[in-house]
Structure 1
Amino acid sequence: MGRTALIAGKGSIVNEAIKNLEDPLVIALIKDPEYPYDYIFNPGEVGKILKTLKKEQVDRVVFIGKVEKKGIFGGYKLDLTAIKLLATLRSFKDDEIMDKVVETLEREGIKVLSQKEILSNLLPEAGIMVGSIDEKLKEDIAFGFEVAKELGKYQIGQTVVVKEKSVIAVEAIEGTDETIQRAGKYTKDFVVVKVKRPTQSGHMDLPVVGDQTILTAKDAGAKAIAVEAKETLVTPEAVDLASKEKITLVAVDESMIREWSS
């Protein structure tokens, strides 16, 4: 059996994956990563990454951590392999890009492991993790969940911010933190809702709540964060920090949403 590679982006979630893997080959795709790594590449250096995986006899990979999608539109220097790969896409929708990555690796004999498989200990069951919720908060969470799921069908993002059953901000290419910050410019005591897109596989890009998410939410004025149970990765540091900063943290499932929205 060959080696397992961890292809890593940004976030404390990467350290959790390193703990759960046995001697992984860590390939960082960001500058100045805050975790140990063996190689570092620009995300557009697809050819170099594939050659490195072969050289290191890797037969399994897992993708963990945030890599900025907006780099595709001009921020990344793309090698010939990356250019050819992108040219085969019908669109730059998230699922299509990720499916193409999986297809490319599996064609090389490399299996892409599910994030759920590696980080199952970070997938919360339905229930209140920190704080408490009242009827008004339940209504906002249910509303935000339904909006986020509907937007997810169009692969717009995973996060919406709501208050009084009104949408304050919607995540697009900028990412969760900037979405939360933008909401904070307009109001306080809002609710952040994160869900998995309906069409999304568990291979990569599952929603994540880490310590930085909590800090951003606190600074912006959020009162609660709701995540989709068993489909969102929540780090222990995030739970501890939410408790310290008095931000309600709850994992919800479809049955709870049906009850709260009725």
Structure 2
Amino acid sequence: MTTGPWERAAGRLVVLALVVVTLVPFADLFVTALHPPGTYPTGLTWPREPHWSNFATAFRSAQVADLLASSALIGFGVVPLTLALAAPAAYALGHLRFTGHRAVFGLFAVGLALPLEAIVTPLYHQVRDLGLLDTRWGLVTALTAVHLPFAVLWLRAHFAGLPPELSDSARLDGAGPWQAFRRVHLPLARPATTSLAILLFAWTWNHFLLAITLVDDPARRTAAGALGAFQGRWGTDVPLLCAGSLLLVTPLLVVFALAHRRLSTDLTRAAARVPSGRFERDASGPGN
């Protein structure tokens, strides 16, 4: 079905409105960061004398280098661990469809639907009992558990869409289920795992609640959690607070700028699978 000029114009207007709504807060944040320290800027007004030194002051005062390193360490711990656990589970749920796979799938769906506020207290006690409280490893473990349901459902959609002929060919060559997964299906899932890794890294970088709940030392938190401590110190200095916020969010913006094509393509493919009835066919498939 072709679209007319009015439909295309309306689509462009919607996209333009979304771009404006997205960019205006960042522009306001940037302009506010250039005002004199200790002032309360109103509106999106460019200062007469931009104080670029606010970024250097915020960088030193908030120890941004240490905070960025801590957030990167946590992200590089959460992402590989989540992918390592989610990929085999998603392969089993989406492609093997073992006996009871619908019940296991339902449990992951429930885990995805649970609000974080409902499980933060049990997570706190579990991390404390493991002796990982106030450590990066404790935060990595908790964030992996939080991200795992979505990661499994995301990769399951990929594995469920693979043709069974791939496994049949691997089986004829003498490969078992694990060898077929490792040598055939996992390499084919690289686009899905790459986009998932980007999302997991972004969510980890921006995670706030568990960071301030499980870790007392701001130097061991994620960027968002560390920003909370910075706000407590410079909460009355709006320009410095905006400068620190921009410094902490810039690496994430760079990651999205470099990977936006891959992410948008994979998100479109994942959304296209939903209305195809794949989930209904899987639910009535063999194995349960």
Q: Which has the higher helix share?
A: 2
Q: Which has the higher strand share?
A: 1
In terms of Rg, which structure is larger?
Answer: 2
TM-score relative to the length of structure 2: 0.24
1 or 2 for the larger relative contact order (CA 8 Å, sep ≥6)? 2
